[in-house]
Amino acid sequence: MDHSGYQHLLIERQGAVLRVALNAPDKLNAIGFEMESELLRLFEDLRRDSATAVVVLTGAGRAFSAGGDLKNNLVVRQDPALIKQEFDLARRFVNTLLDVEQPVIARVHGDAIGLGATLALLCDLVVMADTARIGDPHVRVGLVAGDGGAVAWPLLVGYARAKQYLLGGDLLSGAEAERIGLVALCVPAAELDGTVDRWAGRWSSGARQAIARTKATLNIGLKAQAAMVLDAGLGYEIVSLCSDDHLEAVNAFVAGRKPVFGR
């Protein structure tokens, strides 16, 4: 499978392991239309990639991903066609990721926030450095956590903790995320690559069909959850995208100040 031609992803093959890095380090790997579209293309390409047994997903630079690009939202909210495009892209993004047959390991060396957290949590194994943080602060920028947070969090940590963290928008340390079961592993930063490599090697040398079909079986529950809540969540998020609260949050972000929300 030819994985060349990507502009916003760095892709390197090491035997049966495909290493993919989000490549916008100057923006902390914020995910805009172009990067999201390339990730979707990659997920679809992987279905035809018999040479890849395991995917390792990470970010270039010091962050895994800071989430969605807030500045893009100023453009999106003024164009109904872009709003529909964003809805359709986000819906396909989640469902296509869940359909990837190969195990996907999220190597979280730095912060994974918002959509970045969703991307990591929908992978099959999340390995976090103890110096990294993870969380979904949509509500802190006047947005509904609808792009996948409501899919993954309740299944991983239960509804009580999902509400605690999604309604509060707080970031968790790697150790806390591991303690509550949000992620599988938190390791010292110096041990991150070794841990990821051991799991990638174990899965890539294992019985590929058995691993793939076991993953597919386990993902039935995730896909059912996505079918139940994703459209509503994305719809609510689009409504909040056009709200005065979110406009205030974006303006505050650009100005480098704290937002002041209305009632």
pLDDT in tens, 2-47: 888 899 999 999 999 999 999 999 999 999 889 999 999 999 999 9
Bigger pLDDT: 238 or 123?
123
- Average pLDDT of the residues in 141-148: 92
Average predicted confidence (pLDDT) for the chain: 94
* Range scoring the smallest mean pLDDT among 88-92, 171-175, 229-233: 88-92
DSSP state of 65: B
Q: Please say if the pLDDT value at position 263 is more than 70.
A: no
> To the nearest whole percent, how much of the chain has pLDDT over 70?
99
Rounded Cα distance between 25 and 130, Å, is: 20
**Orientation angle between helical segments 208-241 and 80-99, nearest 10 degrees:** 160
Q: What is the structure's pLDDT at 204?
A: 98
Give me the residue label for tokens 């059912």: 224
Residues 6+ apart with CB under 8 A from 162: 150, 153, 154, 156
Domains of the chain listed by start with CATH number: 9-190+208-255 (3.90.226.10)
C-alpha distances in Å from residue 230, one per residue of 40, 43, 101, 124, 145: 17, 19, 21, 19, 10
Q: Please say if the pLDDT value at position 85 is more than 90.
A: no
Q: What is the structure's pLDDT at 211?
A: 98
Q: Please say if the pLDDT value at position 73 is more than 90.
A: no
Tokens of 27: 């923006």
Q: What is the structure's pLDDT at 184?
A: 98
* Range scoring the smallest mean pLDDT among 84-98, 180-194, 198-212, 218-232: 84-98
* Range scoring the smallest mean pLDDT among 32-36, 77-81, 146-150, 222-226: 77-81
Q: Please say if the pLDDT value at position 69 is more than 80.
A: no
Q: In what order do the strands lie in the sheet with 185-187?
A: 9-14, 17-22, 54-59, 104-108, 125-129, 185-187
Q: Please say if the pLDDT value at position 118 is more than 90.
A: yes
